[in-house]
């Protein structure tokens, strides 16, 4: 198994630094077919998202994905972003932060450590048919994009 990227750790550290200092953490994301964001807010293939604790619900800053719920124009949306698509995290008030190289999407390896909690529902009625028999690890091999659902 290869060495894990430092990028998700730096994102979490800068998010914590922003929060501890009373700043609002923002991320800039390169949008592609693997990101789930409100497309109406995408400009020039990018979106800037407020990932502060007051602006998000169920925020997970995982090693592979950043996921949360947020309101856009008064409508609650699920946001799902591969960490590799994040090009920057910074404090809105000061601009202090860090830029990153955008990496092409690579599906997580089967049994990879540090993957986010499985909060996504499988896609479509035949998603279970593609899962490996005899265990819960079958969905880790699935390269399909997960779909989040709101449970009330």
The pLDDT assigned to 142 comes to 46
pLDDT at residue 126 greater than cutoff 60: no
The pLDDT assigned to 120 comes to 42
State the Cα–Cα distance between residues 82 and 120, nearest whole angstrom.
Answer: 14
Q: What's the pLDDT tens digit per position in 97-107?
A: 999 999 888 87
| Contacting residues for 59 by C-beta, under 8 A, at least 6 apart | 51, 53, 66, 67, 68
Predicted model pTM? 0.70
| Contacting residues for 131 by C-beta, under 8 A, at least 6 apart | 122, 138, 139, 142
Q: Average model confidence (pLDDT) for the chain?
A: 81
pLDDT category at 25 given cuts 50, 70, 90 is: very high
The pLDDT assigned to 107 comes to 77
CA atoms within 13 A on the CB side of 119: 19
Q: Tell me how many degrees the CA angle 35-38-41 measures, rounded to the nearest 5.
A: 110
Residue 146 is inside which H or E element, if any?
none
């Amino acid at each position: 198994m290869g060495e894990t990227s430092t990028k998700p750790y730096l994102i979490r550290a800068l998010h914590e630094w922003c929060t501890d200092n009373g700043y609002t953490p923002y991320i800039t994301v390169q949008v592609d077919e693997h990101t789930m964001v409100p497309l109406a807010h995408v400009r020039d293939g990018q979106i800037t998202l407020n990932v502060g604790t007051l602006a998000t619900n169920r925020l997970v800053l995982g090693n592979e994905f950043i996921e949360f719920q947020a309101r856009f124009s008064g409508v609650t949306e699920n946001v799902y972003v591969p960490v590799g698509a994040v090009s920057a995290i910074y404090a809105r008030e000061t601009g202090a932060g860090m830029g990153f190289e955008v990496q092409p999407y690579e599906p997580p390896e089967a049994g990879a450590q540090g993957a986010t909690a499985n909060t996504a529902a499988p896609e479509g009625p035949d998603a279970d048919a593609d899962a490996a028999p005899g265990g819960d690890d079958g969905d880790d091999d699935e390269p399909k994009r997960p779909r989040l659902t709101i449970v009330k």
